[in-house]
Amino acid sequence: MALKSALRHGLRALGLRFPQLRRYSGRLGLGRLLTRGQTREQILVDGDVVIELDLSVPQFRHYYFNFDLSSAAETVLIRRLVTSSDVFVDVGAHIGYFALVAAKYARHVVAFEPSPKTYSYLQRNIQLNKELASKVTAHLLGLSDHSGTATLFYSPEDPGGSSLRPVEWTNTTDETVTLETLDRVVSARPVAFIKIDVEGAELDVLRGGREMISRDHPIVLCELFEPWQQRFGRTCQDIVGFFRERNYTGYSVQEEPSRRGRVTVKPLDLTKMDATDVVNALFVPSARAPKILARLSA
């Protein structure tokens, strides 16, 4: 077991240094052979946030061998834009890596994850970070524009790809999940930053938080991917329109592979988006945009 763990750590170091070696985590790769059974490994994100990964899950195996969460665009934005007085809301918290990084910098984090299985991973990672745990409130909830229940199409191989609409390219199981709205759940808290990654349901989340957004004018980080929006009968432009009506300006954010821990921020231009592009879109109140962008470039 110790030898396998040492080999896994070695392969992770190679995978992070040489991205072309990503086949290690593939179905036929060496990484898969070293992660048979209920293998779990811990990694550090942003220096000291402990995240445990179940390496029997292909998505988590990919994170372990290939993906440096510390230099992800979301991590960089949190590090530079979240302050000790802020309330941070994580919608689609998954297993908690960004919620826990945010807890390092924010006053409090409110995290939402609808899938019971993924929520159990989230709870485990909160427990592993005892100094941050008291700053995180996690809810086993999905967020939408109404209260109620819905069917979540859960992917055991790719939990982060689970969706409230059928997912065509992967095996899924059906789960009944509870839905609430941002305005109902966080109405009493001034919110400074919202991160949303919900596989196409982003506009429903925003509509369910329109009162809070109009009141608090938070920074919003929202993933845009046209095929996922089409699942819900809408487009990425509908999300841009939501923010434009509220005097927000949108920017696309990309990691700089050659400069670890840095991001490139450009005005959001949907006409330059390919159908296969996944875009981290940062929406900021237009009046505050110069100061916010200055903090990113400092």
Number of residues in the chain: 298
pLDDT tens profile 100-121: 999 999 999 999 999 999 999 9
pLDDT of 169: 64
Per-domain residue ranges of the chain: 2-66, 69-297
pLDDT of 259: 65
The matching CATH number, chosen from 1.20.58.220, 3.40.50.150, 3.40.50.300, 3.90.550.10, for 69-297 is: 3.40.50.150
Distances in whole angstroms, Cα of residue 288 to Cα of each of 80, 217, 257, 269, 293 = 15, 10, 28, 20, 9
Residue bearing tokens 């994170």: 63
Asked if 163 contacts 152 with a C-beta cutoff of 8 angstroms, the reply is: yes
pLDDT of 172: 86
Q: What is the pTM of this model?
A: 0.91
CA 208, CA 144: separation in Å to the nearest integer? Answer: 6
What are the structure tokens assigned to 69, written together? 């969460």
pLDDT of 209: 97
Residue bearing tokens 């689609």: 92
pLDDT of 149: 97
Q: Is 151 helix (H, G, I), strand (E, B) or coil?
A: strand
Among candidates 99, 84, 58, which has minimal Cα distance to 196?
Answer: 99
pLDDT of 28: 45
Helix axes 97-105, 73-81, angle to 10 degrees: 20
Q: What is the pLDDT along the chain (298 residues), one digit of tens a residue?
A: 565 666 666 656 666 666 555 555 554 455 555 565 658 889 999 999 999 999 888 889 888 887 888 888 999 999 999 999 999 999 999 999 999 999 999 999 999 999 999 999 999 999 999 999 999 999 999 999 999 999 999 988 899 989 999 887 668 899 999 999 999 999 777 999 999 999 999 999 999 999 999 999 999 999 999 999 999 999 999 999 999 999 999 999 988 765 666 888 999 998 877 777 888 999 999 999 999 999 987 6
First to last CA, the chain: 45
